Structure 1
């Protein structure tokens, strides 16, 4: 089998596995209405369930990244897929609030364990193709977006007692991840001696990039939480109008993720990322300030702008820290994303004190701040040609190899 076919097979399997795992990133929030309805959880208690999964997951991802920097752990992919699914599957049958928090936290740890090693595996399989990494990132985005539909299909029909059925994607994902590991090994997998011989770590550039990702995360989480309510207010429509806006936000993200990889292959990562931040700022202004049905167009453009740099953020972070690829993946996929979740309650509190429109206005400035942080950054050094004998930590390292969660 040719190298390109091996790469495409590995990326396809990893992308599908990524979708199965990231179902559990979206499933916890989708379960909240059912916890409130069946268990009479307060909003504070329900929020605690979401935080148990997302916050712990974000914090421990860099730890797993550091571990993968030292040792090759391909077995972690199927194991973490099963762990992520098991926690969510058990959450509906846990007989106490404390136990529910525990199993949901276990699911978050499983998701956290998956992403740094998966990002490294995808990086190695892509051999520098931004387009391949865009497809890998798309898998995670699709899984996240499908989570509410899966939860509704299972729990709305059988109640929380049917939650063990939510383990099915985890089993499928584990099988796909195992197959991806075998496929990558057949094409010449990475060695265990990771990072040695790679270039120098550029922490200054990495931290500036991470700051820009935080800005992007706050905008995305803020809009995800409130765009449905806001569009209902702006258009005078009902639930359908708000749901349609949320769907546009997700669909635009899918398009943007794939487009980002293709554009980066042609124009370069930093050029594409910088233009995406400018586009996002203008589009968010349109969402907040322009009345009427045209808001849907601005939501779509905002979504594309937010997701075009999605996989490029991760590969840039990895290439700024070539000796710590796992750590870079854990930070860009974990800690920076959690900042968006922590900022969402601030947006909500401001909306309670003023109005939802006023609360969303600060989101206009964040892409501009992210763009400023990107000023002066340089494209990392290109990777060594695939045919040369380079250590695993450097394989595929430059132009665009990894993805996200």
Structure 2
């Protein structure tokens, strides 16, 4: 079966394996997508801001869109597979656009949990920018706050950026192995009159990164701790109270570059890292040492090419999503193997893999769980090589059946069969 036949087969299966799905064609590629503030919330759906960037030959923009996301079990399953790959999504509406600074490519977008009207962008420029999008239809794109500190030319194709969950802080990595930290608390009162901010710290020092920093992530409950991962095949743990050197480090067992990293909000000892050969590693930070290579708890091998992005589910512990250059987005259950072993069952290969989203036709550029709608993901791919335009954004929620245990699934099937039989025979006496 060729790739096109597999795609058509997947498309037919959408009503069976998805609770919600929508497809949005992009005329030019986009390297990032990020959820922002909720506009309205009703019983059957919510309206929410979602931002992404456009990377064109002549014009680069940040797009601010409104997305209507159905609540679970509220989608019309008979229609969700009836989409045209070359058309925009009926669930998405463009509200406003921001011109990218100096027409550069915007690689990553982030919001601040306490100030979601502020949007952080990281581009190929050495400066980062913070935009006020409190009025999405008329964003303040003329006077962004500029975060200075990186040297010229060290942030080209750079994706390492994060905002802190517990404070108004920003971390950014570059090609020289530096991680810079900014305190932007002053922006809580507004961005008017504030033009540029300098970093409060620069992390490298002894035993720091020796190559490009590909990803940074704050500890979810602390503004003083963060981790970074990069092309020197290492993950570094940092404490801003002792910034002279990393607190601890871990190195890739197979000497592969790390592309992405995340930190669990439910278990602060758990870190994820994805590498250039398609493997995701789960680490316990307490096992890090100066030069450790075997301190990971377990590995996940569901991709056939490099892992480009990953993220823990922010609403449900033990689950995460990973995206790769193979065009797949995989959902994982980190507890599944452990639970099966406790029950005395034989553990199958990749038993932790609970769902494989294969609706994209090109490399996955970014993914973001919706923090307001359980199990809803936004994913974006670059599809220019497939002749479908520049890229695709897909917003989707897998069926709850994919997350059930065998016992739960058996009971659900039994209930469906019983209800079906009752409909056919009619009510009893």
- What range is the shorter-chain TM-score in? under 0.3
Q: TM-score, normalised by structure 2?
A: 0.23
Higher relative contact order (CA 8 A, sep 6+): 1
Q: Give the structure with the larger helix fraction.
A: 1
Q: TM-score, normalised by structure 1?
A: 0.24
Q: Give the structure with the larger strand fraction.
A: 2
